[in-house]
Amino acid sequence: MKKSVAALYLAALSLPAASSALAEDLVIPLPGDTTVEKTDAVYRCGAETVEAVYYNAGDISLVRLGLKDGVIVAANVVSGSGAKYQGGARVWWSKGDEADLYDVMADPDMKQPVHCVEEKKT
């Protein structure tokens, strides 16, 4: 993809899911030969739904999580297994078609995650 398309994908990260107000764009400059891979997934987390959009661009890996109380953009961090992302007080840890969502302010030891399962596309 061209650099401008990559910037467009990454700019979408800053847009709230259900906001009618204008938002600032988030632009991350990338080298000209960097390709951006975007993957959408919807997870069932108990009675709630989490919309996840994964962005991978070279060494940059981000996830945009659409939660009932807002949007979180989280960056990939080192993990022993799976893909672990942290943004603010939230940790999103995915492996295969499952993920766990943690609130480290309410649960600093990360012992009580909300377990999520990806909804299969039909």
Count up the domains in the chain and report the number. 1
* Predicted pLDDT at 26: 79
What is the separation, in whole angstroms, between the first and last Cα of the chain? 28
Average pLDDT for 7-23: 46
| Residue 77, domain CATH | 2.40.128.200
At residue 23, the pLDDT reads 64
Phi-psi region of 96 (alpha: psi -120 to 50; beta: other; left: phi over 0): left
Tell me the two tokens of residue 85: 């992302």
pLDDT digits (tens, 9 = 90+) for 68-87: 989 999 999 988 888 999 99
Q: Does residue 98 lie in a domain region?
A: yes
- Give domain status of residue 58, yes or no: yes
Cβ proximity of 68 and 48 under 8 Å: yes
Strand boundaries in 46-121, DSSP class E: 48-57, 60-67, 70-77, 83-87, 90-95, 98-103, 114-118
Which residue do the tokens 């480290």 mark?
A: 104
Mean per-residue pLDDT, 37-42: 96
Residue-level pLDDT at 110: 95
Structure-block tokens of residue 76:
């990939």
What number is the average pLDDT over the span 95-116?
96
Residues of the domain holding 42:
35-116
Q: How confident is the model at residue 12 (pLDDT cuts 50, 70, 90)?
A: very low
